Each structure stands twice: as structure tokens, then as C-alpha cells.
């Protein structure tokens, strides 16, 4: 297993290096010319800013990739996880509570190790390009709130998971999958009403004309929501966005305040029609189904690995246990699932095209095109990504391809 892990990490890093090199070179080669489809809509200075911003982001992403791979090796072959486990086993508490302590301590240490890159990304990279509005005080407050959520939600969840694994030695992997599925659905329902307001302020949309336009769109599509809200996204960033959140009877429509100030009513309706398209085209349910199937396979694999003594020995752990099996699996899984990313990206881009088609049928395609152009400009999204990098990583189609698709649908 240790050889397979090292090979997976090394191959993944080499692929990522090659993709980033291609992406950076491709963007640099097109930095001084705005693509014809965007000429007259996006100034050259804005296009160059997007090129420089994207190159800085992907380079930092490569550093993040390398650091993450190094931490995986330190936790496993470097013996950090084994040392942490031996420390808590030395307290002579029960298997359940020592396991909970190991998992929570691992989460906290991992978060602290990732903190420097997060700080650099927010206060250097985003600040350099004029996007950051996060203060250090707000950053710290957010961290403290996340810590509270870890105590209120994370500790009970970890306790339930480990108790299930200990008390059901034959079938815990299936019960673990059921817990994951139930927790995910509950969080999708609860997040907009109970968790998101901890971090952002949400106010009902005050613009009566825009609200009437949106309500008409929802009514003719048979879509019910618990309200239309504007979020204070500008308190942290100048990036704009809009999204649906929640599920069942607890669905909400959320606009960033930065988006409201940039788009016309027709353009906002078109953006919302795109998001509505994901629901009407059953993308949300299909993604949940796919992820449920993937997690089911993962839980079954974990159930088999957990009883293999070589699984622990090869990854630097001296004492097998269910909590160590869980952490090890979560640590090494990304090294192997990295190679599945092009498939998930392809599916996501297909869904984006379908949602664009739905929006073009509900509004004018030109309105969505104008909205997307403004969002590309304001968010500094590159208009010239490398095709291979984009096919591997991007959940949305490249800007020129997406615009051409919309223009074709309106022809």
C-alpha cells in the first residue's frame, strides 16, 4: 500500500505540474489579445488582470497540492498519525472516546497546518488583485465559529460514527454509508436556515420589481422557495454569485450583494433561470445519486481494508483500530480519486450546458450572455484557459465555448 500511495501521489503531482505549466503558458500567450467574442465588452486591461490572477491562483494551487501530498506522507509514513494515536491510547480511556479524541485532534491539527496557505490566499493573493475585503478580525471570528460548529456537530457525528463501527463489526460499513447519506441530506436542509446565518447576513430582496420578475419565473416553473435573499458577500470579497440552497420545503434563493449591483433585472433573471435549470433538469438529484454510489463503494472498500493488518502496517500505524482505519482512508483516498476528476468535470460541464439551454428558453439567451460577460470581467475569470487543463479541472465550460453555445441556441 505504501508503494501504491507514493506512486499515486507522484504521478498525480507530475500530471498537475504538466497541466499547470500548459495552462500558465496558454494564458500568457493570449494575454495581450481579448478573444473576438468578448472584444468591445471586456477591456484589454481587465483581460490581462484575469490572466495574471488566474496564473497566480493555479501556481498557488500547485503549492497547495504539493503541501497536501507532503502532509499525507507525514501523517502516514512519517508516523504523525501513529504518534497521535499512541498519545491518546496512553490516557487509558475507552476505545470509543480515545478514538473520538484522535479524530478531532487530527482535524484540528490539519486545519492549523493548512492555515498559512489560507492566510496567504486571502490576504496576499486576493488582496493583490483587489478582491479581498476580509479583515483579520473577521477571519479569526470565522475560525472560532468553525471551531464551535466542530464541537456542536463534529464531535457528536464522530462519536456516532465510531460507536456504530465498534458495535457493529460485521456491517458497520453499510451503516456508515447510511449515516453519511442521512447527514448530507439533513445538512442540505438545515444549512441555509441555521448555519449560513452564522457567517453572513441575509436580508429579503427589497427591489419590488425584481422580486416580482423572479416570482413570476418561479411560478411558471412550479418552483416554491422560502424566500429570495441578498447576502453580504461584499463583507469578505468583491466576487459575485447567485445560488439556490436547501432542499424540500426549505429552499432559498440567494444573491450576493455584489451581483445585485452589477447586473440588470433581465440579466439577474437569466442567471437565476440557469440555477433553476439545475433543479428542473434533475441535476441535483443525479449528483446526489452519483455521490451516494461513489461513497457506497468507498465505504465497502473501507470495510474490507479495516480488517487487513497490512493496511495499517504499510501506512505507518502500529495498532489497528476503526478510527485509525477511517482517518487513513480519508487521508489516502484523494491521491487515488484525483484520477477520476476529469469524469466528474465532464459531467458538471454537461450539466452547465443543459442549464444554459433551460435559461435560454426561460429568458433571452442574450441576457444570460451579457450577465456572464459581466461576471467574467468582475470575477477576473480567464477567457483563454488551456483546453486540456480545463477538461481536467473546470466544472464550467470555458468562456468562449459557453458563449458560443448560447449564441447557437438563440440563432
Q: Tens digit of pLDDT for each residue in 173-219?
A: 999 999 999 999 888 888 887 888 888 888 888 888 888 888 888 88
Beta sheet of 242-245, edge-to-edge order: 202-204, 228-231, 252-256, 242-245
Distance from C-alpha of 30 to C-alpha of 59, rounded to nearest angstrom: 18
Residue 127 confidence (pLDDT) above 90: yes
Cell, residue 256: 450576493
pLDDT of residue 249: 64
Domain assignments of the chain as residue spans, ordered by start: 199-284+344-410
Q: Which helix (H) or strand (E) element contains residue 253?
A: strand 252-256
- Dump the DSSP string for 186-231: HHHHHIIIIIHHHHS-EEE---HHHHHHHHHHHHHTT---S-EEEE
Please identify which of the residues 232, 275, 314, 394 carries the catalytic annotation: 275
Q: Which residue has the higher pLDDT, 242 or 351?
A: 351
Its pTM stands at: 0.88
216-269 pLDDT tens trace: 888 888 877 777 888 888 888 888 777 777 776 667 788 888 888 788 889 988
Catalytic entry in 267, 269, 352, 356: 356
Confirm whether 52 is a catalytic residue: no
Residue 293: strand, helix, or coil: helix
Please state, in angstroms and rounded to a whole number, the distance separating the CA atoms of residues 18 and 20: 6
Q: Which three cell numbers stand for residue 88?
A: 491518546
Largest CA distance in the chain: 72
Cβ partners under 8 Å of residue 128, min gap 6: 56
Beta-carbon contacts of 267 under 8 Å, excluding residues fewer than 6 positions away, are 367, 368, 370, 371, 374
Query: β-pairing, 228-231 with 252-256?
Result: parallel
Architecture per CATH, 199-284+344-410: 2-Layer Sandwich (3.30)
Q: Is 275 a catalytic residue?
A: yes
358: helix, strand or coil = helix
Q: Across the chain, what does the average pLDDT equal?
A: 90
As a whole number of angstroms, the distance between CA 336 and CA 297 comes to 14
pLDDT value at residue 248:
66
Amino acid at each position: 500500500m505504501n508503494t501504491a500511495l507514493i506512486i499515486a501521489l507522484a504521478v498525480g503531482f507530475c500530471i498537475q505540474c504538466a497541466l499547470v505549466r500548459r495552462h500558465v503558458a496558454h494564458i500568457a500567450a493570449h494575454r495581450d489579445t481579448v478573444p473576438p467574442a468578448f472584444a468591445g465588452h471586456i477591456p484589454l486591461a481587465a483581460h490581462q488582470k484575469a490572466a495574471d490572477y488566474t496564473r497566480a491562483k493555479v501556481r498557488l494551487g500547485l503549492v497547495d497540492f504539493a503541501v497536501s501530498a507532503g502532509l499525507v506522507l507525514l501523517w502516514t509514513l512519517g508516523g504523525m498519525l501513529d504518534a497521535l494515536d499512541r498519545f491518546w491510547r496512553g490516557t487509558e480511556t475507552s476505545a470509543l472516546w480515545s478514538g473520538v479524541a484522535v479524530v478531532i485532534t487530527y482535524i484540528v491539527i490539519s486545519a492549523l497546518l493548512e492555515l498559512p496557505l489560507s492566510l496567504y490566499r486571502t490576504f496576499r493573493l486576493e488582496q493583490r488583485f483587489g478582491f479581498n475585503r476580509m479583515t483579520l478580525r473577521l477571519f479569526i471570528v470565522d475560525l472560532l465559529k468553525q471551531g464551535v460548529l466542530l464541537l456542536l456537530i463534529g464531535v457528536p457525528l464522530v462519536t456516532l460514527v465510531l460507536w456504530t463501527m465498534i458495535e457493529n463489526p460485521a456491517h458497520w460499513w453499510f451503516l456508515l454509508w447510511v449515516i453519511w447519506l442521512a447527514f448530507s441530506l439533513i445538512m442540505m436542509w438545515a444549512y441555509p436556515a441555521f448555519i449560513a446565518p452564522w457567517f453572513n447576513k441575509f436580508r429579503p430582496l427589497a427591489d419590488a420589481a425584481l422580486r416580482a420578475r423572479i416570482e413570476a419565473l418561479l411560478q411558471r416553473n412550479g418552483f416554491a422557495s422560502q424566500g429570495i435573499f441578498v447576502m453580504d458577500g461584499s463583507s469578505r470579497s468583491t466576487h459575485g454569485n447567485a445560488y439556490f440552497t436547501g432542499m424540500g420545503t426549505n429552499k432559498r434563493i440567494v444573491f450576493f450583494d455584489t451581483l445585485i449591483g452589477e447586473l440588470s433585472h433581465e440579466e439577474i433573471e437569466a442567471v437565476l433561470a440557469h440555477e433553476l435549470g439545475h433543479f428542473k433538469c434533475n441535476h441535483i438529484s443525479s449528483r446526489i445519486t452519483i455521490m451516494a454510489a461513489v461513497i457506497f463503494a468507498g465505504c465497502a472498500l473501507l470495510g474490507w481494508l479495516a480488517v487487513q493488518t497490512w493496511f495499517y502496517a504499510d501506512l505507518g500505524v502500529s495498532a489497528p483500530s476503526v478510527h485509525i482505519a477511517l482517518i487513513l482512508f480519508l487521508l489516502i483516498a484523494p491521491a487515488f480519486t484525483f484520477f477520476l476528476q476529469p469524469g466528474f468535470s465532464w459531467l458538471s460541464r454537461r450539466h452547465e450546458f443543459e442549464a444554459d439551454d433551460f435559461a435560454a428558453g426561460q429568458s433571452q439567451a442574450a441576457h444570460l450572455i451579457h450577465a456572464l460577460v459581466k461576471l467574467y470581467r468582475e470575477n477576473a475569470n480567464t477567457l483563454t484557459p488551456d483546453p486540456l487543463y480545463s477538461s481536467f479541472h473546470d466544472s464550467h465550460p470555458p468562456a468562449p465555448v459557453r458563449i458560443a453555445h448560447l449564441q447557437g441556441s438563440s440563432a
